[in-house]
Protein backbone atom coordinates (compact mmCIF):
# COMPACT_ATOMS: atom_id res chain seq x y z
CA UNK A 1 0.00 0.00 0.00
CA UNK A 2 1.16 3.55 -0.36
CA UNK A 3 0.60 6.79 1.46
CA UNK A 4 0.23 10.15 -0.17
CA UNK A 5 2.63 12.67 1.32
CA UNK A 6 0.77 15.87 2.18
CA UNK A 7 3.48 17.92 3.82
CA UNK A 8 7.03 17.72 5.15
CA UNK A 9 7.73 20.37 7.79
CA UNK A 10 11.05 21.05 9.52
CA UNK A 11 10.85 21.93 13.22
CA UNK A 12 14.16 22.66 14.92
CA UNK A 13 16.01 19.82 13.22
CA UNK A 14 13.16 17.29 13.33
CA UNK A 15 10.86 16.60 10.40
CA UNK A 16 7.14 16.05 10.58
CA UNK A 17 5.75 14.11 7.62
CA UNK A 18 1.98 14.29 7.16
CA UNK A 19 0.43 11.62 4.99
CA UNK A 20 -3.01 10.48 3.84
CA UNK A 21 -3.81 6.79 3.89
CA UNK A 22 -7.50 6.12 3.45
CA UNK A 23 -8.33 2.47 4.00
CA UNK A 24 -5.14 1.59 5.88
CA UNK A 25 -5.50 -1.26 8.37
CA UNK A 26 -6.01 0.22 11.86
CA UNK A 27 -2.70 0.97 13.55
CA UNK A 28 -2.63 0.49 17.31
CA UNK A 29 -0.51 2.17 19.97
CA UNK A 30 3.19 1.35 19.78
CA UNK A 31 3.00 -0.18 16.32
CA UNK A 32 4.98 1.13 13.36
CA UNK A 33 4.90 1.05 9.60
CA UNK A 34 7.85 0.01 7.50
CA UNK A 35 8.57 2.51 4.72
CA UNK A 36 9.97 0.66 1.74
CA UNK A 37 13.11 1.84 -0.01
CA UNK A 38 13.01 2.35 -3.77
CA UNK A 39 16.06 0.12 -4.02
CA UNK A 40 14.78 -3.31 -3.02
CA UNK A 41 18.24 -4.20 -1.70
CA UNK A 42 17.82 -1.47 0.94
CA UNK A 43 16.18 -1.90 4.33
CA UNK A 44 12.73 -0.61 5.27
CA UNK A 45 12.60 2.30 7.72
CA UNK A 46 10.27 2.00 10.74
CA UNK A 47 8.08 5.07 11.22
CA UNK A 48 5.64 5.54 14.09
CA UNK A 49 2.37 7.23 13.14
CA UNK A 50 0.12 9.55 15.05
CA UNK A 51 -3.49 9.28 13.90
CA UNK A 52 -4.73 12.77 13.00
CA UNK A 53 -8.20 11.52 12.02
CA UNK A 54 -9.94 11.54 8.61
CA UNK A 55 -7.39 9.10 7.20
CA UNK A 56 -4.48 11.45 7.88
CA UNK A 57 -1.41 10.53 9.89
CA UNK A 58 1.83 12.22 10.92
CA UNK A 59 5.18 10.79 11.85
CA UNK A 60 8.42 12.38 12.97
CA UNK A 61 11.81 11.51 11.52
CA UNK A 62 15.31 12.85 12.07
CA UNK A 63 17.32 14.69 9.45
CA UNK A 64 19.50 11.62 9.10
CA UNK A 65 16.53 9.32 8.48
CA UNK A 66 15.20 11.76 5.92
CA UNK A 67 18.35 12.34 3.93
CA UNK A 68 20.76 9.44 4.30
CA UNK A 69 21.59 7.65 1.04
CA UNK A 70 19.18 4.78 0.42
CA UNK A 71 16.55 6.15 2.82
CA UNK A 72 12.99 5.49 1.62
CA UNK A 73 12.34 9.12 2.51
CA UNK A 74 15.32 10.59 0.64
CA UNK A 75 13.33 12.40 -2.03
CA UNK A 76 10.04 12.75 -0.22
CA UNK A 77 7.86 15.82 -0.79
CA UNK A 78 4.18 16.80 -1.13
CA UNK A 79 2.31 14.64 -3.64
CA UNK A 80 4.84 11.83 -3.40
CA UNK A 81 3.60 8.26 -2.93
CA UNK A 82 5.36 6.50 -0.05
CA UNK A 83 5.13 2.69 -0.15
CA UNK A 84 4.69 1.22 3.35
CA UNK A 85 3.66 -2.06 4.90
CA UNK A 86 2.22 -2.77 8.29
CA UNK A 87 1.16 -2.12 10.91
CA UNK A 88 4.15 -3.99 12.30
CA UNK A 89 4.58 -5.24 15.87
CA UNK A 90 2.21 -5.62 18.73
CA UNK A 91 -0.05 -2.99 20.21
CA UNK A 92 1.35 -1.65 23.44
CA UNK A 93 0.78 1.23 25.83
CA UNK A 94 2.26 1.75 29.31
CA UNK A 95 0.19 -0.48 31.59
CA UNK A 96 -2.63 1.12 33.53
CA UNK A 97 -4.76 4.14 32.97
CA UNK A 98 -2.69 6.68 34.77
CA UNK A 99 0.65 7.08 36.46
CA UNK A 100 4.01 8.79 36.05
CA UNK A 101 5.80 8.14 32.78
CA UNK A 102 9.44 9.07 32.28
CA UNK A 103 10.60 9.15 28.65
CA UNK A 104 14.30 8.98 27.79
CA UNK A 105 14.61 9.65 24.08
CA UNK A 106 16.76 11.98 22.00
CA UNK A 107 14.11 12.40 19.27
CA UNK A 108 10.30 12.44 19.22
CA UNK A 109 9.80 9.86 16.41
CA UNK A 110 9.32 6.65 18.35
CA UNK A 111 8.44 7.64 21.89
CA UNK A 112 6.14 10.61 21.35
CA UNK A 113 3.24 8.71 19.67
CA UNK A 114 3.08 6.31 22.64
CA UNK A 115 3.63 9.05 25.24
CA UNK A 116 0.94 11.21 23.66
CA UNK A 117 -1.59 8.38 23.93
CA UNK A 118 -0.55 7.84 27.56
CA UNK A 119 -1.00 11.57 28.22
CA UNK A 120 -4.54 11.26 26.91
CA UNK A 121 -5.16 8.40 29.37
CA UNK A 122 -4.19 10.56 32.32
CA UNK A 123 -0.49 9.80 32.69
CA UNK A 124 1.85 12.59 33.80
CA UNK A 125 4.85 12.74 31.46
CA UNK A 126 8.43 13.83 32.12
CA UNK A 127 11.03 13.74 29.34
CA UNK A 128 14.70 13.20 30.09
CA UNK A 129 17.57 14.14 27.77
CA UNK A 130 21.05 12.92 28.40
CA UNK A 131 22.86 16.26 28.12
CA UNK A 132 20.57 19.22 27.45
CA UNK A 133 17.03 20.02 26.43
CA UNK A 134 16.99 20.30 22.61
CA UNK A 135 15.37 23.17 20.78
CA UNK A 136 12.66 20.95 19.27
CA UNK A 137 11.28 19.99 22.69
CA UNK A 138 9.28 23.15 23.38
CA UNK A 139 8.09 23.30 19.78
CA UNK A 140 6.81 19.73 19.51
CA UNK A 141 5.90 18.60 23.03
CA UNK A 142 2.97 20.26 24.85
CA UNK A 143 3.43 22.28 28.07
CA UNK A 144 2.03 19.34 30.06
CA UNK A 145 5.35 17.50 29.50
CA UNK A 146 8.07 18.29 32.07
CA UNK A 147 11.63 18.62 30.78
CA UNK A 148 14.76 17.28 32.51
CA UNK A 149 18.35 17.01 31.28
CA UNK A 150 21.52 15.42 32.62
CA UNK A 151 21.79 12.91 35.41
CA UNK A 152 18.33 12.31 36.86
CA UNK A 153 17.71 13.24 40.48
CA UNK A 154 16.68 10.53 42.97
CA UNK A 155 13.32 12.33 43.20
CA UNK A 156 12.74 11.92 39.47
CA UNK A 157 13.55 8.21 39.66
CA UNK A 158 11.23 7.75 42.61
CA UNK A 159 8.54 9.67 40.75
CA UNK A 160 8.61 7.39 37.68
CA UNK A 161 6.28 4.40 37.57
CA UNK A 162 7.47 3.47 34.07
CA UNK A 163 10.41 4.55 31.93
CA UNK A 164 10.33 4.42 28.12
CA UNK A 165 13.76 4.32 26.50
CA UNK A 166 14.61 5.01 22.90
CA UNK A 167 18.34 4.45 22.71
CA UNK A 168 20.48 2.16 20.52
CA UNK A 169 21.78 0.37 23.64
CA UNK A 170 18.95 0.69 26.15
CA UNK A 171 20.41 -1.65 28.76
CA UNK A 172 23.73 0.20 28.79
CA UNK A 173 21.89 3.49 28.90
CA UNK A 174 19.98 2.40 32.00
CA UNK A 175 23.18 1.26 33.72
CA UNK A 176 24.85 4.60 32.94
CA UNK A 177 22.05 6.52 34.57
CA UNK A 178 22.79 5.74 38.19
CA UNK A 179 19.67 4.60 40.01
CA UNK A 180 17.48 4.14 36.98
CA UNK A 181 18.44 0.47 36.77
CA UNK A 182 16.10 -0.02 39.69
CA UNK A 183 13.21 0.50 37.29
CA UNK A 184 14.49 -2.43 35.27
CA UNK A 185 14.72 -4.66 38.32
CA UNK A 186 11.08 -3.97 39.03
CA UNK A 187 10.02 -4.61 35.43
CA UNK A 188 9.09 -1.02 34.77
CA UNK A 189 11.61 -0.21 32.03
CA UNK A 190 10.52 -0.54 28.42
CA UNK A 191 12.55 0.09 25.29
CA UNK A 192 11.86 0.61 21.62
CA UNK A 193 13.95 -1.90 19.67
CA UNK A 194 14.10 -1.66 15.90
CA UNK A 195 16.85 -3.91 14.56
CA UNK A 196 16.77 -4.30 10.75
CA UNK A 197 13.28 -5.55 9.85
CA UNK A 198 13.33 -6.75 6.24
CA UNK A 199 9.98 -8.60 6.18
CA UNK A 200 7.92 -7.25 9.09
CA UNK A 201 5.89 -10.40 9.77
CA UNK A 202 8.21 -12.98 11.36
CA UNK A 203 9.29 -14.68 8.16
CA UNK A 204 12.98 -13.77 7.75
CA UNK A 205 14.15 -14.22 11.39
CA UNK A 206 16.35 -11.12 11.07
CA UNK A 207 15.02 -8.98 13.92
CA UNK A 208 15.88 -10.82 17.14
CA UNK A 209 16.56 -8.63 20.17
CA UNK A 210 17.07 -9.25 23.87
CA UNK A 211 14.15 -8.58 26.20
CA UNK A 212 13.54 -9.09 29.91
CA UNK A 213 12.25 -12.61 29.31
CA UNK A 214 14.66 -13.73 26.56
CA UNK A 215 15.09 -13.16 22.86
CA UNK A 216 12.13 -12.09 20.75
CA UNK A 217 11.42 -11.12 17.17
CA UNK A 218 10.80 -7.40 17.25
CA UNK A 219 8.43 -7.31 14.27
CA UNK A 220 6.13 -9.69 16.20
CA UNK A 221 6.75 -9.04 19.92
CA UNK A 222 8.13 -5.49 19.67
CA UNK A 223 9.00 -2.85 18.94
CA UNK A 224 8.21 -1.77 22.56
CA UNK A 225 9.43 -4.46 24.93
CA UNK A 226 10.14 -4.90 28.61
CA UNK A 227 13.89 -4.62 29.22
Q: How far is the CB of 197 from ligand FES (least distance, A)?
A: 4
**Residue 192 engages ligand FES in binding (rule: CB under 6 A):** no
Considering only 5, 76, 114, 197, the residue that binds ligand FES (CB under 6 A) is 197
Q: Shortest CA distance to 76 belongs to which of 59, 51, 52, 88?
A: 59
Neighbours of 154 (CB within 10 A): 9
Please name the residues in contact with 11: beta carbons below 8 A apart, sequence gap of 6 or more.
136, 139, 140
Nearest CB to ligand FES, comparing residues 149 and 206: 206
**Residue 217 engages ligand FES in binding (rule: CB under 6 A):** yes
Asked whether 218 and 195 are in contact (CB, 8 A), the reply is yes
* 192: three-class secondary structure by DSSP: strand
Considering only 28, 37, 181, 198, the residue that binds ligand FES (CB under 6 A) is 198
Asked whether 44 and 72 are in contact (CB, 8 A), the reply is yes
Q: How far is the CB of 147 from ligand FES (least distance, A)?
A: 35
Task: Count residues binding ligand FES (CB under 6 A).
Answer: 12
Q: How far is the CB of 85 from ligand FES (least distance, A)?
A: 11
Asked whether 21 and 83 are in contact (CB, 8 A), the reply is no
**CA angle centred on 119, ends 108 and 175, rounded to 5°:** 55
- In this structure, the strands spanning 214-217 and 124-129 are unpaired
- Residue 66 vs residues 71, 131, 148, 177: alpha-carbon distances, Å: 7, 24, 27, 30
Considering only 78, 95, 204, 212, the residue that binds ligand FES (CB under 6 A) is 204
Nearest CB to ligand FES, comparing residues 138 and 220: 220
**Residue 199 engages ligand FES in binding (rule: CB under 6 A):** yes
Span from 10-18, 74-82, 167-175, 201-209 in contact with ligand FES (CB under 6 A):
201-209
Nearest CB to ligand FES, comparing residues 71 and 216: 216
Considering only 23, 26, 205, 214, the residue that binds ligand FES (CB under 6 A) is 205
**Residue 203 engages ligand FES in binding (rule: CB under 6 A):** yes
**Residue 96 engages ligand FES in binding (rule: CB under 6 A):** no
The DSSP string of 41-91 is TSPPEEE-PEEEETTEEEEEEEHHHHHSTT-TTTT--TT-EEEEEEEES--
**Residue 206 engages ligand FES in binding (rule: CB under 6 A):** yes
Q: How far is the CB of 58 from ligand FES (least distance, A)?
A: 24
Please report, as ranges, the residues that interact with ligand FES according to CB under 6 A: 197-200, 202-207, 217, 219
Amino acid sequence: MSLEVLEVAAVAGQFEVQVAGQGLPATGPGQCWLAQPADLAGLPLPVFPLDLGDGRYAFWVTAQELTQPGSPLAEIGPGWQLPVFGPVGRKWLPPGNEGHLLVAAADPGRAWPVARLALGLGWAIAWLWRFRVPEWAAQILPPAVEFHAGRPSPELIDWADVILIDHPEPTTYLKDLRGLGRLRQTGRAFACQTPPMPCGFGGCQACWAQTRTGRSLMCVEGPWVSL
